[in-house]
Chains A and B, each alone.
Chain A
Amino acid sequence: MNRVLPILTVVAAIVVLWYGAAVAMNRAWVLDQAARAGTEPPAFGQMVVATMTQERPVLPAPHQVVAELWKGVAGQAITSKRSLVYHGWITLSATLLGFAIGTAAGIALAVGIVHNRAMDMSVLPWAIASQTIPILAIAPMFIVVMNSMGVQGLVPKAIISAYLSFFPVVVGMVKGLRAPDAMQLDLLRTYNAGGAAVLGKLRLPASMPYLFASLKVGAAAALVGAIVGELPTGAVAGLGARLLSGSYYGQTIQIWAALFAAAIVAAGLVAVIGLVERVTLRRMGMAR
């Protein structure tokens, strides 16, 4: 209860502020409608109702978004083009594939950086540079180029996901693999241990807490990558496509529902990683 109460308080405050903002921002449209019809602007009570029942509000009220979410999740067959589960799964599958590729690449690069001086000098600056390129700028080009080579659907999106998610993994794993101190390394030298033993018995286990921290960041980044990868596909499918088609047609409620669906997916991913982390670290005797 001690932990839930502060969270609920914050949520309640946000909801209140949100309702206030919805009234303030959607008011102009109501006034505009009244002026066009040549009628008096509605009184306060009616005004509030009018700001929260619009089809394309500037800012949808929370209950409108929740209703749209509910409709998208439970109101359709999950194979329907209007189901958020359908779109969510399309995005999630690209996210998971990209996250897996990104994590594998990130770990491999980190191992290379720690073991090879040339890689140590050269890889990280490039990795950092790669992240300064605005993903929104290159994602459409990449999708189009891949498309022209006949590759479309899951794979190009997953590659963009991987591109965003490998970075936190590299940075975290380099730090984690270097976490063992000189004494621990010297101990292995007295056993005449080779590089593989040092990696497998010392560096990798020692890096586990760092790995999980970066996986959480990487998973969220992978989701962003998948959504961005869906934007240029001509709004076919996926949460990104829902965002895009929503903005084409001014369907703000749809946009917000898709945003919340994405947030829920991200929270779910991070929660799953957190669970695996707890189990793993406890098994390793490292949980506090």
Chain B
Amino acid sequence: MKDTINLGQPVIAAQGLNLVFQTNDGPVHALKDVDLTIGKGEFVSFIGPSGCGKTTFLRCIAALEHPTGGSLTVNGMTPDEARRKRAYGYVFQAAGLYPWRTIAGNIKLPLEIMGFPRAEQEARVERVLDLVDLKGFGKKFPWQLSGGMQQRASIARALAFDADILLMDEPFGALDEIVRDRLNEELLKLWARTGKTIGFVTHSIPEAVYLSTKIVVMSPRPGRITDVIDSPLPRERPLDIRDTPEFIAIAHRVREGLRAGHSYD
């Protein structure tokens, strides 16, 4: 772990990761023997049925859960240390904007907590509002924005403090298909412009294939990885790439992986 930071060095590395929740109905094996390496600048999607541990894995990376076995490093540090170094921004399924703060106020929240100077807060808010295409909406309150715009604001909030990792847990799960398509396109542009490493949880096969450089297929009981697919698609992806044979082939492999996971039980 002494290497100097260079492109391609693992940003997230999990080896033999296990997490068992002790519940009233006995232990739940949420993650079993998870091995995964994510390089800098990758866009990694986690796909699998409910309860396969996608959220749990993301929360482990964010140090919101603590694994019961194995090792997990983020930028070569423990997840807790990485959090203290502001290594990641987290986007939840619900936008979770504070209703008593304007959009700009919401984006400032992490900046205030992390102690950025005032002038810089303003500059950053303007920059990330532009990045998520919400220029001019800073003074609005959340309820004045549509669901899709609120989720964009929550992405802006996660981008505001220069974390190089973006963790997103079904960020567009509650939105309709049309809004979702547009946000996916915008997310790809944003990723291209910022070069962040992105971990993205989804239920949707087309979404996973469209967005990712790496697709992690998971299955439940116990939660584990059944397939890791490195996408051959180019980084530049118009929406109609979804009709190409390459795209369909990857989607097919993901579907097979999901089916194989199910035949276990």
Contacts and interface: CB of A to CB of B under 8 A. Distances in A.
B63 to A, nearest CB: 8
Given A190-B88, A190-B89, A285-B102, A183 B96 contact: yes
A286 B99 contact: yes
B98 A205 contact: yes
A279 to B, nearest CB: 14
A148 B110 CA distance: 56
Given A186-B64, A285-B102, A285-B141, A191 B110 contact: yes
Nearest to B92: A183
Interface string A48-80: 000000000000000000000000000000000
A200 to B, nearest CB: 10
Contacts of A197: 113
Contacts of A286: 99-100
Interface in A162-206: 183-184, 186-193, 197, 201-202, 205-206
A284 interface: yes
Interface string B84-108: 1010111010101011111000000
A192 B94 contact: no
A206 B143 CA distance: 15
B98 A192 contact: no
B189 interface: no
B208 interface: no
A187 B142 CA distance: 17
A183 B169 CA distance: 12
B183 to A, nearest CB: 20
Nearest to A196: B113
A225 to B, nearest CB: 32
B112 interface: yes
Given A189-B64, A190-B83, A192-B84, A284 B100 contact: yes
B83 A192 contact: yes
Given A197-B113, A201-B113, A190 B96 contact: no
Interface string B4-29: 00000000000000000000000000
Contacts of A206: 98, 100
A190 B109 contact: no
B64 A190 contact: yes
Interface residues of B, number: 27
A186 B59 CA distance: 10
A80 B234 CA distance: 90
Contacts of B143: 285
B132 interface: no
B250 interface: no
B98 A202 contact: yes
Main secondary structure of the interface of B (DSSP, over half): loop
A192 B85 CA distance: 9
Interface string A197-238: 100011001101000000000000000000000000000000
Given A202-B98, A205-B98, A205-B100, A191 B113 contact: yes
A285 B99 contact: yes
A27 B40 CA distance: 94
Contacts of B94: 183
B223 to A, nearest CB: 19
Contacts of A188: 113
Given A183-B96, A190-B64, A201 B112 contact: yes
Nearest to A205: B100
B114 interface: yes
B159 interface: no
A191 B100 CA distance: 19
B100 A285 contact: yes
B62 interface: yes
Given A192-B83, A197-B113, A201-B112, A186 B92 contact: yes
Contacts of B84: 192
Contacts of B113: 188, 191-193, 197, 201
Interface in B157-215: 161
A185 to B, nearest CB: 10
Interface of B: 59, 62-64, 83-84, 86, 88-90, 92, 94, 96, 98-102, 109-110, 112-114, 141-143, 161
Interface of A: 183-184, 186-193, 197, 201-202, 205-206, 208, 284-286
8 contacts: A189-B83, A190-B64, A191-B109, A192-B113, A197-B113, A208-B100, A284-B99, A285-B143
Given A183-B94, A202-B98, A285-B141, 14 more contacts: A184-B96, A186-B90, A187-B92, A187-B96, A189-B63, A189-B64, A189-B83, A191-B86, A191-B113, A191-B114, A192-B86, A192-B113, A201-B109, A284-B99
9 nearest interchain CB pairs? Answer: A284-B100, A285-B141, A190-B90, A191-B110, A191-B113, A193-B113, A205-B100, A197-B113, A183-B92
